[in-house]
Chains A and B, each alone.
Chain A
Amino acid sequence: MNTIEEALTAALDAAAEAVRPGTIAPLPEPGGSTVPRRRARASWFAPVCAAAAVVIAIAGALLVPRLVGAAGTPAGDRNIPASPGAGGPPAFYAEAADTACAAGTACVAIRATTTGAVVATVPSPAGGNGRKLSAIGVTTYDDRTFYALYSEENPVGAGTTSTSTGDGELLIYRFTLSARGALTGLAPVRGGMIPGQRHLLFDGAAAVSPDGTRLAVAASAGGAFLQQIVVIDLRTGGHAVWRGGLERTARSMSIADVSWTGDGRSLVYLAQWCPASVRQPTVSGPLACPRPGSGAAQVRELAITAAGGRLTDGTVLLGEGAAYPEIGQAVISPDGTELTALVRHGGRAEVVTIAAATGAERRVLYSAPLGAGLSVEGYGALLRTDSSGRYVLFAGWYFLAGNPAMHGWLSGGRPHTLAPSQLLGVPVAW
């Protein structure tokens, strides 16, 4: 055996041994009801499917330009289209569940999209030793590999009546799901600790790049309600940081959302400002900015490099103004051409798609009356698109009139309620 053969043998053995006994999902019992069954297919099934696919492709090539033209022309038409999306949404979604784990503790629960059944719960590794798990965020890029972000708070000092310090660090873990929902490989991410957090995680403010190599996290920059974007190289653990440039007098800035373009070169984020006088700078919690709606939120794009930079390095894609006096959430489509945003329009909360290049509204995906005096900004909503960009996970609470929570997904202009209607927490990723 020569040197290359020896190196290859050693490498293969080591890679194989990384799959440890007892860590793989067990096989179902033979004869049991859970033994997976393969669908019986007739011998003509594949040829017929192939022929049908060709016919559909030809028909699609002829019809799609007409449909696109018809949908694209009425830019001002705010009717909600009713056509359902083709295909199906991701099989699972992650829920930041308040009490789903042992002894009523908070953890990540994975649910089947169609039934709402919990297929896995992820034990929370944070907390303990006097420290408190204060918030959980989750993100995924392929519906199989999930990153969970745990906000771990420092212990409250002796002699104080407060139950929360608001200070701590973000701890990031990774886990994977098999196609059948089996959980494997819960482990800390290299470089997955961001210290010096002054106000803890905003749901949705983390996103994995489409190739799975980088994780962008909106995190505290050390000052109260002053945020930065940290991009973690998941292979090396290195951090690149974008901070500064968006400070405004008597206002505090937070980043409500981050998302990647499909080529992995750019990040899109939503910056919001709140009058500093109404902030509660040392207390984490959902109502950190009790009177949001500053009229100044911006959706900005950043070109991502290894060196980091300033938050103002990129361009503004969309700003609050007469058309949208409030922007609560905004994510970019995988092809980088379209924003999906939660906005206030008149007295309604709406999820709309907007051309990134022009700011022109394309479609209204969801529309519901806004509660009196309530805002779509702040902590009360989350939008996530799947890797195809066709299915939008939408959670809204606190701001809808007479309807305190909407947990659902949007596709083809139709809202679909997520099962089950009553969750233990909030859907946060798919």
Chain B
Amino acid sequence: MFRARHLELVRLAVLLVGDRATAEDVVQDVYARVCARSARLAGNGLAVSYFRTAVVNGCRSVHRRRTVLWRLGRTVPPLLRDEPEPSAESAALLAEDRRRVLRALAGLPRRQREALVLRYYQRLTEPEIAEAMGISRGTVKSTLSRGLAALGSRLTTGES
């Protein structure tokens, strides 16, 4: 099941951590845990929601490490802006207006960003988002609302 979801999970991780190499590492790390855990669960299988939650948690760890490096004065590529040169294919797929939206998204707090990605890329329901992020449904609702408002504000003012 994990293999079938591999591409989808890498894409989710790319949207959360901002660069592909790190995203692939996060997903590979989750896969390593799944391999170990699968042996113990012996056929019970793991739901896709488990994979999704594990990837979200893995991406949070990446952000924590980046924050620590930033505090130590090391240069850390900013989220979703750290593809210094997208491939020609990426460039064609990502028009400037979409880049602007992604830059604005990258400037949001981590929790709002996660909620928006899960809602508008993964098309998850509020209960599913709550499960993936480990927060209550009410918090999901308010986080989405504030995230959209902040995103709209950034796009309107051009502040990204």
What residues make up the interface of A, taking CB atoms closer than 8 Å to B? 4-5, 7-21, 24-25, 27-28, 30-31, 35-38, 142, 144-145, 174, 176-180, 182, 184-185, 187-190, 192, 208, 210-213, 234-235, 262, 264, 387
Q: Is the CB of A7 within 8 A of B82?
A: no
Q: Which residues of chain B have C-beta atoms less than 8 A from A35's C-beta?
A: 32, 35
Which one of B15, B24, B152, B155 contacts A16 once the chains associate, using CB atoms below 8 Å?
Answer: B15
Given A21-B7, A187-B89, list of 5 further CB < 8 A pairs? Answer: A4-B152, A15-B94, A24-B20, A38-B32, A176-B21
Q: Which residues of B contact A176 (CB under 8 A)?
A: 19-21
* The one of A19, A180, A189, A262 that contacts B7, using a Cβ cutoff of 8 Å: A19
B16 to chain A, nearest CB (A): 11
Cβ–Cβ < 8 Å partners of A30 in chain B: 35, 38
What residues on B are CB-neighbors of A38 within 8 Å? 29, 32-33, 36
Contact partner, B93, options A18, A174, A192, Cβ 8 Å = A18
Q: Does B98 contact A (CB under 8 A)?
A: yes
Query: A425 to B120, alpha carbons, bound, how many Å?
Result: 49
On whether the beta carbons of B7 and A27 are closer than 8 Å, the reply is no
Q: Is the interface of B mostly helix, strand, loop or mixed?
A: helix
Which of B27-81 touch A at CB < 8 Å?
A: 28-29, 31-33, 35-36, 38, 74-75, 77
**CB <8 Å contact, B97 and A7:** yes
In whole angstroms, what is the CA distance A14 to B12 when docked?
A: 12
Cα A16 to Cα B116 in complex, Å, equals 14
Q: Is the CB of A15 within 8 A of B85?
A: no
Contacting pair A234 B116 (CB below 8 A): no
Residue of B nearest to A21 (CB): B7
Q: Quick one: which of A11, A13, A19, A36 contacts B14, CB cutoff 8 A?
A: A19
Structural contact, B7 and A5, CB atoms closer than 8 A: no
In the complex the two chains form, what is the Cα distance from A30 to B75 in whole Å?
A: 37
Bound: A142/B66 CA distance, A: 13
Contact A25 B24 (CB under 8 A): yes
Interfacial chain B residues near A36, Cβ < 8 Å: 28-29, 31-32, 35
B152 near A27: Cβ-Cβ < 8 Å: no
Tell me whether B86 is interfacial, beta carbon within 8 Å: yes
Q: Is the CB of B21 within 8 A of A190?
A: no
Give CA–CA (A179, B85) in the complex, Å: 20
Give me 25 A-to-B residue pairs in the complex whose CB atoms sit less than 8 angstroms apart, sorted by A's number.
A7-B155, A9-B120, A11-B101, A12-B102, A15-B14, A15-B93, A16-B14, A19-B23, A24-B24, A30-B35, A35-B35, A36-B29, A37-B32, A38-B32, A38-B33, A38-B36, A145-B84, A176-B21, A178-B21, A178-B24, A180-B25, A184-B20, A185-B87, A212-B82, A262-B75
Contacts of B32 on A, CB cut-off 8 Å?
35-38
Chain B contacts for A7, CB-based, 8 A: 97-98, 101, 155
A10 & B21 in contact (Cβ 8 Å cutoff): no
Indicate if B117 sits at the interface (CB-CB under 8 A). yes
A38 CA / B36 CA spacing, docked (Å)? 8
B75 touching A15, Cβ below 8 Å: no
A174's partner among B12, B85, B94, B99 (CB-CB below 8 A) is B85
Q: Are B6 and A24 in contact (CB under 8 A)?
A: yes
User: Contact at B14–A179, with CB atoms within 8 Å?
Assistant: no
Q: Residue B148 at the A interface, CB < 8 A? A: yes
User: Quick check: A177 and B35 within 8 Å, CB to CB?
Assistant: no
The answer to whether B25 and A178 have CB atoms under 8 Å apart is yes
Q: How far is the CA of A87 from the CA of B103 in the complex (A)?
A: 35
Q: Which residues of A contact B130 (CB under 8 A)?
A: none
Q: B17 at the A/B interface (Cβ < 8 Å)? A: no
Asked if B21 and A15 sit within 8 Å, CB to CB, the answer is: no
CA distance A145 to B31 in the complex (A): 24
**B20 — which chain A residues lie within 8 A by C-beta?**
19, 24, 176, 184-185
- Given A36-B31, A179-B25: A11 and B88 within 8 A (CB)? no
Interchain residue pairs A-B with the least CB separation, the first 9: A187-B87, A11-B101, A16-B11, A12-B121, A11-B98, A36-B32, A18-B90, A212-B84, A234-B84
B10 interface hit (Cβ, 8 Å): yes
Across the interface, which residues of A come within 8 angstroms of B21, CB to CB? 144-145, 176-179, 184
Chain A, residue nearest B90 (CB) = A18
Within 8 Å by CB of A184, from B24, B74, B77, lies B24
B120 / chain A contacts, CB cutoff of 8 Å: 5, 8-9, 12
- Most chain A CB within 10 A, of B28, B84, B151, is at B84
Within 8 Å CB of A14, what residues of B? 93-95, 98
> Which residues of chain B are near A182, meaning CB under 8 Å?
24
**How far, in whole Å, are A180 and B32 apart by their CA atoms in the complex?**
13
A142 vs B12: C-alpha distance when bound (angstroms): 23
Chain A proximity of B8: nearest CB distance (Å): 8
Contact between chains at B105 and A11 (CB < 8 Å): yes
A200 to B31, CA, bound (A): 45
Choose one: A9, A10, A37, A234; the contact of B85 (CB below 8 Å).
A234
CB distance from A264 to the nearest CB of B (A): 8
In angstroms, how far is the closest chain A Cβ from the Cβ of B66? Answer: 12
Using known A-B contacts A180-B25, A187-B88, determine if residue A8 contacts B101 with beta carbons closer than 8 Å: yes
Q: A200 CA to B12 CA in the complex, in Å?
A: 42
In contact, A27 and B10 (Cβ under 8 angstroms): no
B135 CB-CB contact with A under 8 Å: no
